[in-house]
Structure 1
Amino acid sequence: MQHPHGVQPWGNFLLNGGADIRSTGLGQLRVLSDDLLLTVLGLLPAKVLLSCSATSKALYCFCNHEELWRALTLQEFEGSFRYSGSWQHTYLAAAGLTEPGSQPSCGPLKVQGLYSDILYQPWFCATTPIREEWLERDNLERRSGLSLEDFRQHFELPNRPVVLSDAAKDWPAQKKWTRKYLRKAFKGQAVVAGNYPMAFDDFLAYSDGATDDMPLYLFDCEFAAKAPKLATDYKVPEYFAEDLFGVLGESARPHHRWLIMGPPRSGSSFHKDPNATSAWNAVVRGSKKWILFPPHITPPGVHASADGADVATPVSLVEWLLNFYDAAQRGGVRPLEGVVRAGEVLFVPRGWWHFAINLEETVAVTQNYVSSAGLPAVLAFLKTGRADLVSGCAEADRADLHERFVSALREQRPQVLESC
C-alpha cells in the first residue's frame, strides 16, 4: 500500500539511487529539517498553506500533511465540525470553503522522489495491520466468582492487576448501549473527545471515517450528568464499592468516573493514574488490548520526569507497538498484557504504568477510587504539597485537597484514618 502522495521512508533514499526532489522543491527552505519545516508550516493560516502547496511537488506533500490540517481544524473549530474523509477537506468544509458533504474533484497528487520519515510514519502507523503477535500474549490473571476477601488479599493489598471476567456481565448496559441508545441519551448534549466538546453524532461521523494514527477518543467525566440514565445502566462492582474520596461529596472530590468510547486504534498511551489512586475499567462493547508495567519499571520508549509531572511517549499507540513491543518482551521484567472484552473488568492497581488500544469500536466505563488499602499512598501523595501534580479538580481546590480530605475522613471515617 502506497502513501497517498507517494512519499517514501528515508531508508528508501539510497535504495532508489540517492536522487530526490526535496532540495530543488523546497528552495531555501531545504536547510530546515522536516520536523522544523512542519513546525513553520503549522504557523501559517489555511489559505497561505494552500497557496504554498501549489509552488512545488515537495511543498505540496508537506503542506497537505494531515497532521497540519488536523491541528488547524481543532484550533479553529474545536469540536464544531463534521468529519469529511480527511482533515483538510474537513477544515475546508467547516470554514465554508467547500460544500458540506462534497467530495474532492480529483484524487491527491502522487510524486516521485520525496523521502521523509516525518511524513511517512503517521500514515504507516494508521494503515499497518494490528499484528497477531501483539495480541496473542495473555498473561493477565483472570478470575471469576472471586470473593471480596480473596480480591483484597490476593490483588488489592499486593497491588496486582487482575481481570474479573464476570464483574460486569449482568449490567443492563451490556445490552442497551448501542449507538442508537447512546445517541438518544446524549441528544442535545456535547461529549468531550480529544479534550474538545463535540456533538455525539459528529463524534460518530468522525469515528466512522477516521484515518488518523491516533484517533480522537471520547473521554467524558460528566457523562452521568449529561445522560443520567446511563448511570443507572451499570453498577460499581462490589470489589470497588469502598471509595473514600466520596467523603468529600460529589462536587468537591476529584473527577473519578468516565465514559470512554473510540474507534479502532484509539486509546491511552502509557501513564499512571492520577493522585495515586487505583482504577477499574469495564468494557461494555468491543475489546481492548492492555499492557501494564509495575510502578518501578518505566516502559521502553517512555520518558518520565523524576516527579512524574511530565511523560513523553511515542505519538501513537501503534508507533509504540512497532518500535518498542519487542524490546518490552526482552526486558528484565516483562509486562502483563491481554485483551479485555465486553463484560470483563480490569483492576488497575495504583502506580502501574498502563497502555490500552481499542481493537474495534469500543465503549467502556472506568472509575478511579481510594479504598482503605490504597489510602496511605493517596495521603502520602497529596501531602507532598505539589498542587501541580494533583489532577481532576479546579486549580483553586488542589492545594488544600489533602487537608480537606483528612478533615472529612476524621469526621466521617475516623477508624479508617487511624488504621492507615
Structure 2
Amino acid sequence: MTLNLQDIPRVKHITKQAFLKHYFKPQKPVVIEGFIKDWPAYTKWNLDYMKSVGGNLTVPLYDDRPVSHEDGFNQPHARMKLAEYIDLLKREPTKFRIFLWNALKEIPQLQNDFTFPDFGLSLMKGIPMLFFGGKNSHTFMHYDIDLANIFHFHFDGQKQCILFDQKQNDFLYKIPHSLITREDINFNNPDLKKWPALKKAKGWKCQLNHGEVLYIPEGYWHYMRYKTPGFSMSLRAVARNPKNFSKAIYNLVIMRYLDNFMRRLKGQKWIDWKNQQAITRTHKKLSK
C-alpha cells in the first residue's frame, strides 16, 4: 500500500483570470509547463551558469540529519564555495542542499534573467529564494513558516514533489511547536505499518522538469526530492486566508523563539519529547 496521492493538474499556459478562478481561490496546486519559456533564465539557468556567476560565494548547506537541540532555527550544517558545491553535485550524490538562499541579492545580474509574473497576487519581490540539491537528496516534509502562496520554478533536472494541505495535519505525525513531520518518515517510500495514520492522508504529487512552475497553495506541506542534480527558485505572496495569516504571525513572532528557548533550556529532552508527542497525538486522534 502506498500514499493516497493524486496527480497535480498540468497546463501548458494559463491566464491570470483562470489561475485565480481554478487554483488560487479553491487553493489547489497546479503545474504550469510553458510559463517561463520567454525568460532568459529558461535557456541560461543551469548548474554551470550558476557556477560561472556565483562560484566564489560561500553558501549555506543543509542535510537530512535529525534536528538537534544544538542547532538554531534553520541553522545551516555546513558552508562551502558555490563552485565547490556544484562540482560535488555533478560528481557524486550528496545529501547537502542549499535552502532558502537569497542568491539574487548576492548576484544582482540574475535579476535580469526573469520578470515577476502577474498571477493576480502581490509577490514579495525582495526575497526570491534559491534551492539546490544533488541526486536523491530531499527535504523533510514541512510547510513554510509564513504559510505563503509559493510559485516554485525548477531548473536543470527533475524533482519529485509531494504536497498535503493543512487539513491533513492529524495524519502526518506533525512535530509540535515546529513546521515539520517526524524526520524518520520516508515519504518517498513510507512504512505504513509503522506510520498507519498516513493511510488516511490525501495529498498530491508531481514531477517537475526544467522550466516548469509549481503553484503551492497557502500552508501546504511539501516534500521535495531531487531525482537529478538541479535547483529551483521560489517566489511567494502573503497568505490571504485570515486563519493562515494569523498562524504565520504566530510562527514568526512566538513559535520559533519559544522553540529556540526550550532547546536551550531543556536540551535534547525537548527534541525527544516533541518527537514522541508527534506519535502520541497522531495515534490518539487516529483512535477517535
TM-score where L is the length of structure 1: 0.51
Relative distance call for 1:280 and 1:293 in structure 2 (3 A) is same
Query: What 5-or-longer segments of structure 2 have no aligned partner?
Result: 63-75, 258-288
Which of residues 218, 235, 239 in structure 2 aligns to 1:350?
218
Trace 1:390-401 onto structure 2 (pairs within 5 A).
none
CA distance in 2, matches of 1:169, 1:325: 40
Q: What does residue range 113-262 of structure 1 map to in structure 2 within 5 Å?
A: 139-194=7-62, 195=76, 196-211=78-93, 215-239=95-119, 242-243=122-123, 250=126, 256-262=127-133
**Alpha-carbon deviation of 1:385?**
8.2
Q: Residues 260 and 330 of structure 1: is their aligned pair in 2 closer, same or farther, counting only changes over 3 Å? A: closer
Residue aligning to 1:264: 135
How big is each residue's C-alpha offset from its partner over 1:164-186, in whole Å with a ceiling of 9 and x where there is no partner? Answer: 12222222112212333211211
Give, in whole Å, the separation in 2 of the partners of 1:385 and 1:165: 33
Shift in Å, 1:375: 5.7
Say whether 1:376 aligns with 2:235: no
Bigger proportion of residues as strand: 2
Report the 3-state secondary structure (helix = DSSP H, G, I; strand = E; otherwise coil) of the residue aligned with 1:283: strand
CA distance in 2, matches of 1:325, 1:143: 32
Contact 1:192 1:218 in 2 (8 A): yes
Q: CA deviation at 1:210?
A: 4.4
- Which of these residues, 254, 259, 264, is aligned with residue 388 of structure 1? 254
Amino acid at match of 2:129: W
Correspondence 1:284 to 2:152: no
Which of residues 174, 178, 185 is equivalent to 1:309?
178
CA–CA separation in structure 2 for the residues paired with 1:181 and 1:370: 31
Higher helix share: 1
* Percent of aligned pairs with the same amino acid: 17
On the 8 A contact 1:291/1:355 being kept in 2, the answer is: yes
Secondary structure at the counterpart of residue 304 of structure 1: coil
User: SS where residue 211 of structure 2 aligns?
Assistant: coil
Contact 1:290 1:337 in 2 (8 A): yes
CA RMSD of aligned residues (A): 3.2
Q: Deviations over 1:188-247 (max 9, x none)?
A: 3212222233101221233245455xx01022432012211122212233216513x56x
Distance 1:165 1:325 in 2: 33
Contact kept in structure 1, 2:101 and 2:131, CA below 8 Å? no
State the AA in 2 paired with 1:388. I
Structure 1 pair 264–383 and aligned structure 2 pair: CA distance change class (3 A): closer
Q: Distance in 2 between matches of 1:302 and 1:329?
A: 8
Aligned-pair CA distance for 1:148: 1.0
Q: What is the identity, as a one-letter code, of the residue corresponding to 1:230?
A: L
Q: Specify whether residues 349 and 169 from structure 1 end up closer, same or farther in structure 2 by C-alpha distance, changes over 3 A only.
A: same
CA contact (8 A) 1:191 1:218 kept: yes
Distance in 1 (CA, whole Å) between partners of 2:244 and 2:172 is: 27
How far apart are 1:153 and its partner, in Å? Answer: 1.5
Q: TM-score, normalised by structure 2?
A: 0.72
Matched-pair contact (CA < 8 Å) for 1:299–1:353: no
Residues 210 and 301 of structure 1: is their aligned pair in 2 closer, same or farther, counting only changes over 3 Å? Answer: farther
8 Å CA contact retained: 1:260, 1:364: yes
User: For structure 1, which segment, 257-266 or 332-341, has the greater mean C-alpha deviation from structure 2 after superposition?
Assistant: 332-341
Q: CA separation of 1:162/1:265 partners in 2, compared to 1, >3 Å: closer, same or farther?
A: same
Listed one character per residue, the Cα deviations across residues 59-112 of structure 1 (whole Å, up to 9, x for unaligned) are xxxxxxxxxxxxxxxxxxxxxxxxxxxxxxxxxxxxxxxxxxxxxxxxxxxxxx
- The Cα of 1:156 is off from its aligned counterpart by 0.7
Aligned residues: 241
Over 3 Å counting, the alpha-carbon distance change for 1:331 and 1:383 in structure 2 is: same
Cα distance in 2 between the residues matched to 1:188 and 1:354? 31
1:320 corresponding residue in structure 2:
187
Whole-Å separation in 2 of the counterparts to 1:298 and 1:322: 19
- Give SS of 2:113's match: coil
Matched, 1:274 2:154: no
Deviations 1:109-156 (A, max 9, x none): xxxxxxxxxxxxxxxxxxxxxxxx99xx76111123322112112111
Residues 224/280 of structure 1: CA separation in 2 closer, same or farther (3 Å cut): same
State which structure, 1 or 2, has the greater radius of gyration over its C-alpha atoms: 1
